Amino acid sequence: MILAFETSCDETSVAIVKDGQILSNELYSQIRHHRKFGGVVPELASRLHAEYVDQILDRALASASVNLSDISHIAVTVGPGLEGALLVGITAANTLAQFLNVPLIPVNHLHGHIFAAKDEFKLRFPAIVCLASGGHTMIIEMPDPYQFKFLCNTMDDACGEAFDKVARMLDLGYPGGPQVEQLAKSGAITVPLPHPVKPKKNMFSFSGLKTAVLSAINSQNYTREDVAASFQFKVAEILAYKLEFFIKQHHYEQLILCGGVFANQTIRSHLSNSLSIENVVVPSLKLCTDNAGMIGLAAESYLQHPKIQQFKMSCYPQLGLNFPGVK
């Protein structure tokens, strides 16, 4: 029975996970506090995590009908993320682990996004993963559940960041992704947007697309709805183009789509239907964006690692794809 904490950005979340199932996954979203600033304010995020983490812990225990004495392990996101925000979750997890005398498992937030799919699907390897969130846009190869190899990264903006910036251009609030998707529902794909120049095969680029969206808005030739629909569909095409390139190179048993951007229905369905790989899995909507359930699922996988038995506990704001504390 794993108790998991996630406080890497602007969601305070605590979950209980057992045998690959999320028994509870409670969350306090700080969005309304950050909205007026147009983005996440790190200091405010840390303060709000500290204010809410124990209430969310109580809710997670109550909704799973679990007592603290039932917990066998405590998992916590240790990076990548905002340092002050991460430290709140780490402190809470560390304190409880000492109090209960149970092992602490430091979890990479990016692994959490990937293992979110485990709640509903059996993961198959070798897998290819596309992770698209507010901070990352990556294609990753996983020969097995314990190896994460970069195939493709972004050379400028992350995909979710591009959504957030386009939302701002369209006078929509923060976070932009859901609002662009909502506006796009009443639009048509009429705006000609360029596919980014392909600088390198292993790089995404979203900055040219953003500039093209700005020009389309300034030209006043298109409705805001059409701009939103066209931008969203172009992002789906960009992700699909790169994924297909790698899928053709190598045999993969499964494609795992994960991260906040895959909460977008158009992008989910375009990638599920247009690629030459049959087995495509996407976590349910609420497991695409940040939550502690996914951290508990990743921790469960860490516990089955054939070689690594101990992970060094620390805070790793700049963590890449590797296991925390293991080279």
DSSP structure class, residue 323: P
Distance, in Å, from the CA atom of 263 to the CA atom of 133, rounded to the nearest integer, reads 10
- The phi, psi pair for 202, rounded to 5°, reads -100, 30
Q: Judged by CB under 6 A, which of 106, 177, 196, 283 binds ligand KG4?
A: 177
C-beta of residue 163 within 8 angstroms of C-beta of residue 206: no
Q: CB under 5 to 8 A by kind: which of ligand KG4, Zn ion, none does 289 bind?
A: ligand KG4
- Residues 128-147 interacting with ligand KG4 (rule: CB under 6 A): 133-135
Strands 127-132 and 254-258: parallel
Peptide bond into 175 cis (omega under 30): yes
Strands 254-258 and 203-204: unpaired
- Residue with Cβ nearer ligand KG4 (74 or 85): 85
Shortest approach of ligand KG4 to residue 294 CB, angstroms? Answer: 9
Q: Is 157 in the site for ligand KG4 (CB under 6 A)?
A: no
Q: Is 263 in the site for ligand KG4 (CB under 6 A)?
A: yes
- Residues 254-293 interacting with Zn ion (rule: CB under 5 A): 290
Q: Is 103 in the site for ligand KG4 (CB under 6 A)?
A: no
Shortest approach of Zn ion to residue 136 CB, angstroms? Answer: 8
Q: Is 283 in the site for ligand KG4 (CB under 6 A)?
A: no
C-beta of residue 15 within 8 angstroms of C-beta of residue 60: yes
- Residue with Cβ nearer ligand KG4 (134 or 296): 134
Q: Is 264 in the site for ligand KG4 (CB under 6 A)?
A: yes
Q: Walk across the sheet containing 11-18 and list its strands.
A: 21-29, 11-18, 2-6, 73-79, 104-108
Q: Which of 291, 296, 297, 283 is nearest to 12 (CA)?
A: 291
- Which own/partner contact pairs does 311-314 have at CB distance under 8 Å and 24+ positions apart? 311/105, 311/106, 312/106, 313/78, 313/90, 313/94, 313/104, 313/106, 314/78, 314/106
Dihedral sign, Cα of residue 37, residue 43, residue 47, residue 50: positive
Q: For ligand KG4, which stretch binds (CB under 6 A), given 35-43, 91-99, 146-154, 254-262?
A: 254-262
- Encoded one letter per residue, x for contact with Zn ion by CB under 5 A and - for no contact, window 133-152 reads x-------------------
Using CB under 5 A as the binding criterion, the count of chain residues that bind Zn ion stands at: 2
C-beta of residue 49 within 8 angstroms of C-beta of residue 290: no
DSSP structure class, residue 4: E
Shortest approach of Zn ion to residue 290 CB, angstroms? Answer: 4
Q: Judged by CB under 6 A, which of 56, 289, 297, 298 binds ligand KG4?
A: 289
- Residues 186-225 interacting with ligand KG4 (rule: CB under 6 A): none
- Residue with Cβ nearer ligand KG4 (6 or 226): 6
Q: Is 160 in the site for ligand KG4 (CB under 6 A)?
A: yes
Binding site for Zn ion (CB under 5 A): 133, 290
Residues engaged in binding ligand KG4 (CB under 6 A): 9, 133-135, 160-161, 163-164, 175-178, 181, 259-261, 263-264, 289-290
